[in-house]
Amino acid sequence: MTAVSEDSHSFLFRTLRMIVLLSAPIMAGMVQLAVIPAQTGMAAYFAGKGGDGAFAAQLVMTVAAPSMAFGAPLIGWLAGKLGKRNTLIAAMLIYAVAGVAGAYASDLYSLLATRFILGIAAAGYVTIAVSFIGDYYPGEGARDRLLGWFAVVGGGGSLVVLKAAGWLTEHNGWQGPFFLYIVPLPLLVMGLFLIREVKQTDTAAVAAGSDSIWSAWSIYALITLLAVSFYTVTIQGTYMMAENGIMDPSTYANVMIFSTIGSMLGAFVFRFIMPALGFHMTLALVWAFLIVGNLGFPLTANVVLLATCAGAVGMASGLMQPLTQTTVLNMVAPSASARAMGMALGCIFLGQFINPFVFKALLPFVGLHGAFLWMGAASAVGAVFAALWRLKGGVRAAA
């Protein structure tokens, strides 16, 4: 089946609807970002209860990542059963309830449970929002532009979330940032009136792509490999900087913020790069940015150069997300888009989960510097293959 555009709605209606959908990446980023300023206070609180406070605080921040990897495909499957609109509204409600519940959790296990549920809901929010963008804007030009803005808004929202979370932590203790998770409630009210299932027609079912999400299996594999590579600087960067003699946490934060800026820039320029280069060469450019980031990061202790490397990795991430999302949407039918987007999002978090295991396997043989260089070399191989890669069907159409 193929979607029927809803351009007949007023400009105000479409603008408010887009606000609801474009808020999804902010909500997803807020799952982990909101509790970063509360880490030390949280650690002290749980240490006072007789446990390993630092480890407990780290669990609270990271437990949502595997739940998002698990939740995205699950929510995509549920959307096929319950409808996209119902699933989106439920995800927004559960997000708010589970998020705020963390402030009232009486022990670590109940807090971890709320965080796990929050991760599933956040993954559902993003999955269905991307799927609706594909439904409402079936033309590649408009869709690619909005998917680019999807990542731009997410990056900009991250900066706002960190600032707000810091202020709430300062004035209300470690529980304060949990009240940020109430934000989806007014958006939910808007969504009740603005989000509607898109009418489908059967006349172009074949042209619209496969009804099986596995028709895009090669893109899922690609997303996982890319995620393993671009999470290298994010996850391993602080240890690499420490080996190079940089021990100041504020310096690390200042360097890594350029990853967010790079991601926003990459997502913004995607709509210009994709029509000019096509799928394969845009993919090669993504790998090229990863070469710069992963090879450059271990070879310098200069903060400006480190920030440049982090920005290059961010550019790769910002380009990768709309590139793979629009390609998956081209390769599957609209009826399968929610499930396909869930699988694609899950692969990003799968790559994040795999990265530490890759480094654990490499460290005994080549050390941390060598592991970074190996990741850079692997990115170079990816760039070469991208330039030579030829696929049939949806990817060729996207190119």
Contact status, residue 310 vs residue 262, Cβ threshold 8 Å: yes
Q: What is the DSSP letter of 3?
A: E
* Same domain (yes/no): 190, 141: yes
pLDDT confidence of residue 338? 83
- Centroid of chain to Cα 119: 12
pLDDT confidence of residue 200? 60
Residue at a domain's end among 196, 226, 256: 196
Please name which of 386, 371, 157, 154 lies closest in space to residue 288, comparing C-alpha atoms.
Answer: 386
Sign of the C-alpha dihedral, residues 179, 181, 187, 189?
A: negative
Distance CA 291, CA 154 (A): 24
Q: Domain containing 327: what range?
A: 213-398
* Same domain (yes/no): 97, 217: no
> Please, which residues bridge with residue 200 across strands?
3
Residue 64 lies in a domain: yes
* Same domain (yes/no): 176, 249: no
* Same domain (yes/no): 91, 239: no
* Same domain (yes/no): 391, 261: yes
pLDDT per position as a tens digit, 112-144: 999 999 999 999 999 999 889 888 887 667 777
Tell me whether residue 48 is exposed, middle or buried, using C-beta atoms within 10 angstroms of its C-beta: 0 to 12, 13 to 18, 19 or more: exposed
Residue 55 lies in a domain: yes
* Residue position matching structure tokens 């280069």: 277
> Please, which residues bridge with residue 332 across strands?
210
Residue at a domain's end among 171, 196, 221: 196
* Same domain (yes/no): 180, 241: no
Q: Which residue has the higher pLDDT, 145 or 31?
A: 31
Measured distance between the N- and C-terminal CA atoms of the chain, rounded to whole angstroms: 22
pLDDT tier, 4 (very low <50, low <70, confident <90, very high otherwise): very low
pLDDT per position as a tens digit, 250-268: 677 788 788 888 988 998 8
Query: Which of 42-46, 153-157, 300-304, 339-343 comes out lowest in average pLDDT?
Result: 153-157
Phi first, then psi: what are they for 48, rounded to 5°? -65, -20
What would the two tokens of residue 23 be?
A: 């808020």
Distance CA 176, CA 34 (A): 9
Please name which of 215, 205, 230 lies closest in space to residue 328, comparing C-alpha atoms.
Answer: 215
Helices (H), ranges, the chain: 11-22, 24-33, 39-47, 53-62, 64-82, 84-101, 108-136, 140-172, 184-194, 217-243, 249-296, 303-331, 337-388, 394-398
Residue 1 lies in a domain: no
Residue 381 lies in a domain: yes
Which residues contact residue 152 at a Cβ distance below 8 angstroms, ignoring those fewer than 6 apart?
A: 264, 267, 268, 318
Mean pLDDT of 288-314: 94
Query: Which of 131-135, 183-187, 248-252, 351-355 comes out lowest in average pLDDT?
Result: 248-252
* Same domain (yes/no): 178, 228: no
* Same domain (yes/no): 320, 290: yes
Q: How many domains does the chain have?
A: 2
Residue 203 lies in a domain: no
Residue at a domain's end among 149, 167, 196: 196
| pTM of the shown model | 0.78
What would the two tokens of residue 7 be?
A: 């351009």
CATH number for 78: 1.20.1250.20
* Same domain (yes/no): 136, 181: yes
Mean pLDDT of 314-318: 93
Distance CA 338, CA 269 (A): 25
Residue 206 lies in a domain: no
Return the amino acid letter for 41.
G
Residue 205 lies in a domain: no
Distance CA 349, CA 373 (A): 23
Distance CA 291, CA 381 (A): 10
Residue 204 lies in a domain: no
Return the amino acid letter for 325.
Q
* Same domain (yes/no): 90, 221: no
What would the two tokens of residue 261 be?
A: 């800026």
pLDDT per position as a tens digit, 202-228: 434 434 556 778 888 899 999 999 999
Please name which of 197, 314, 281, 301 lies closest in space to residue 241, comparing C-alpha atoms.
Answer: 301
What is the dihedral angle through the alpha carbons of 127, 132, 134, 139, rounded to the nearest 10 degrees?
Answer: -160
